């Protein structure tokens, strides 16, 4: 890739610095942010932005960082554009004491990690394609945090680039860094009253060229089981074991409709945690589907499973409690075609081949789109998210930064 050196310098070292912050979020904590480390990164980013010369740097009471670049002279009335990334990392794998390893010139061989793990180019075509190119990977003891600290590094590098190049004309620009994206608990407190953007872009994608503007409809479900406790010696015909009820219910979930058995536009059921004892147990499940009505049918199936379990365990109760987390952003984004057309043009102008695909998940952009600000998703160069095998393409991260510069210029026309 040509002409990326300056963008590499703006993003690579920043990412390594941000990765060291322990910002794992906690889905069991209802507070926002759910963990104190997110405050540490937010304060550091706010200070860095002030030192950089960004305008109107705000750190809200709920740990949102907002900063602005005023429009170039004469372009003050152009559409305000926002760029969004999240500060937390997934709780599925440890994000404490992350040790990013920079490989300046990947030799194409298997990379051995801790605990017998490895990165194998024979099993990872993206990695194989990076022979001779710079990558950053974990040591195998933690995730890397490219989801979404690569996005943060890209946006910060982008702002610094424009501050250093006032000759590049642009309209009003805004950055937003959010807490608790991985838990879905940050957006309810999103400070809409402080946001000026009319369109926005999340930097939360993966391989170069990915452009995402449709996502799952998502529900979180808690199934509560109530049993009857008895002395085990005299339990016959009297005890109802809630823990066993939960296990039987979990076994009813279709294995061929799970995350590990589906891809593309196929939805799924995903049991996330199961806990309890004889009297009380619970099962947490995520429902995902691109079609809203199909998702509703999955919820109906969960209610049917609950009745079936109650029939097997007379005297026991199974209660299904569901909550809509976010909706597919496709319809609302298609209502504002400019938000996609300009991004497609920015990719083209910077030599990036567009790969449009659905997000098998969601971003803060999913919720923000629901709230009236259309927000598609842009690649960052990360791979194997939420994993000890996570790695990041340095050049693709830099290429994403260059795309943002081009996108900002397009919005000035």
Phi-psi region of 116 (alpha: psi -120 to 50; beta: other; left: phi over 0): left
Q: How many CB atoms lie within 10 A of CB 413?
A: 9
- Work out the angle between the directed axes of helices 5-19 and 146-164 (0-180°, nearest 10): 130
Q: Hey, what are 107's tokens? A: 């030799």
**Helix, strand counts (H, E) of the chain:** 10, 18
Among candidate residues 48, 88, 310, 390, the one labeled active-site is 88
Residues 133, 104 contacting (CB under 8 angstroms)? no
Peptide bond into 402 cis (omega under 30): no
The Cα–Cα gap between 256 and 258 comes to 6
Catalytic, 88? Answer: yes
Among candidate residues 148, 160, 180, 181, the one labeled active-site is 181
For residue 276, the SS3 value is strand
Please choose, from the candidates 366, 325, 80, the residue with its C-alpha nearest in 3D space to the C-alpha of residue 205. Answer: 366
- If you compute the radius of gyration of the chain from its CA atoms, what whole number of angstroms results? 23
Catalytic, 204? Answer: no
Residues 325, 216 contacting (CB under 8 angstroms)? no
355 forms beta bridges with: 210
For residue 32, the SS3 value is coil
Catalytic center residues: 88, 181
């Amino acid at each position: 890739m040509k002409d990326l050196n300056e963008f590499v310098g703006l993003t690579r070292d920043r990412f390594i610095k941000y990765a060291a912050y322990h910002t794992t979020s906690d889905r069991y904590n209802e507070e926002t942010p759910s963990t104190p480390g997110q405050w540490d990164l937010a304060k550091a980013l706010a200070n860095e932005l002030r030192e950089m010369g960004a305008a109107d740097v705000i750190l809200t009471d709920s740990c949102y960082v907002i900063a602005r670049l005023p429009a170039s002279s004469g372009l003050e009335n152009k559409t305000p554009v926002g760029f969004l990334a999240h500060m937390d990392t997934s709780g599925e794998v440890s994000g404490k004491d992350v040790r990013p390893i920079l490989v300046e010139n990947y030799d194409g061989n298997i990379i051995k990690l801790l605990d017998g793990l490895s990165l194998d180019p024979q099993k990872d075509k993206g990695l194989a394609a990076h022979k001779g190119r710079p990558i950053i990977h974990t040591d195998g003891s933690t995730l890397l945090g490219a989801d979404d600290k690569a996005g943060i590094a890209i946006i910060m590098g982008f702002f610094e680039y424009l501050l250093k190049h006032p000759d590049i004309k642009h309209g009003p620009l805004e950055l937003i860094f959010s807490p608790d994206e991985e838990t879905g608990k940050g957006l309810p407190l999103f400070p809409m009253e402080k946001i000026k953007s009319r369109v926005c872009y999340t930097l939360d994608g993966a391989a170069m060229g990915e452009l995402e503007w449709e996502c799952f409809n998502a529900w979180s479900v808690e199934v509560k089981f109530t049993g009857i406790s008895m002395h085990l010696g005299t339990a016959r015909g009297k005890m109802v074991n809630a823990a066993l009820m939960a296990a039987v219910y979990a076994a009813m979930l279709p294995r061929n409709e799970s995350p590990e058995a589906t891809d593309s536009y196929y939805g799924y059921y995903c049991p996330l945690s199961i806990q309890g004892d004889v009297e009380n147990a619970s099962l947490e499940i995520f429902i995902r589907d691109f079609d809203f009505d199909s998702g509703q049918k999955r919820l109906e199936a969960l209610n049917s499973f609950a009745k079936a379990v109650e029939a097997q365990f007379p005297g026991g109760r199974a209660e299904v409690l569901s909550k809509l987390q976010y909706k597919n952003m496709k319809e609302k984004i298609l209502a504002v075609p400019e938000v996609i057309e300009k991004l497609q043009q920015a990719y083209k102008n910077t030599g990036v081949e567009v790969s449009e695909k659905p997000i098998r998940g969601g971003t803060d952009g999913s919720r923000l789109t629901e709230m009236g600000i259309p927000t598609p998703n842009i690649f960052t160069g990360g791979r194997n998210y939420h994993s000890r095998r996570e790695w990041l393409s340095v050049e693709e991260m830099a290429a994403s930064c260059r795309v943002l510069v081009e996108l900002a210029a397009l919005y000035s026309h």
